[in-house]
Structure 1
Amino acid sequence: MKSGKILLGLISGAAAGAVLGLLYAPNKGTDTRKAISQKGDDYLKGANKGFNDFTNSLNHKVEALKSKTKANLASSKSDEKINKAKAEMHNMAS
């Protein structure tokens, strides 16, 4: 019986809060929805930029590792120097 009263109180409080929020809202609903949508788009763009930066950094590290491996396995000194230079370029980019 006690949990039913608590649940009823929570639902009543949520409904009262929603009604008061609509009555005292400073902006129109369309403006509020646009603002929420814009904020969501901004967060999504920031997340995409962070993900792209991470993948670019990871790609440079993989390429540097591949170049270092090729340099270690190179049959000639010139191939070794070329691959070491490539590895250094990738290390600087990441």
Structure 2
Amino acid sequence: MKTSTTVLGILGAAAAGAFLGVLFAPDKGSNTRKKISDKSKDYKDNLKSKVDDIMHTISSNGKEIIEEGKARFNAAKEDFNTIKEEAKTVKTNY
């Protein structure tokens, strides 16, 4: 299971639990609605923070992969040019 899926599942379960807890608490309707609104905002902010962290991680890993790919490509290009020069040398000697 992916970490992002697990985090979203946990946050969703916590939000549902908090919502149900506030909904069934003995309190005035206006207070209950305010509590639900406040909790929703808290969970929204928390979820946004988690998603931003996940996107940053993906972006960082993507940049590292691209840089490694460029380095490997350049190394392969240098190896090819070396072999090509050696082949020219062999061809001129025969």
The runs of 5 or more residues in structure 1 that have no matched partner are 1-13, 77-94
Counterpart in 2 of 1:52? 59
Structure 1 counterpart SS, 2:24: helix
Which 4+ stretches in 1 moved above 6 angstroms? Answer: none
Report the alpha carbon displacement of residue 28 of structure 1 after superposing the two structures with TM.
Answer: 2.1
Amino acid across the alignment from 2:51: L
Counterpart in 2 of 1:61? 68
Amino acid across the alignment from 1:66: F
Report how many aligned residue pairs link the two structures.
60
% of aligned pairs identical? 10
Spell out the pairing of 1:11-90 with structure 2 (5 A cutoff): 19-20=24-25, 23=27, 28-74=35-81, 75=84
Query: Residues of 1 paired with 2:49 and 2:35: CA distance?
Result: 21
Q: TM-score, normalised by structure 2?
A: 0.53
The runs of 5 or more residues in structure 2 that have no matched partner are 1-16, 86-94
Report the alpha carbon displacement of residue 50 of structure 1 after superposing the two structures with TM.
Answer: 0.3
Amino acid across the alignment from 1:54: N
Amino acid across the alignment from 1:67: N
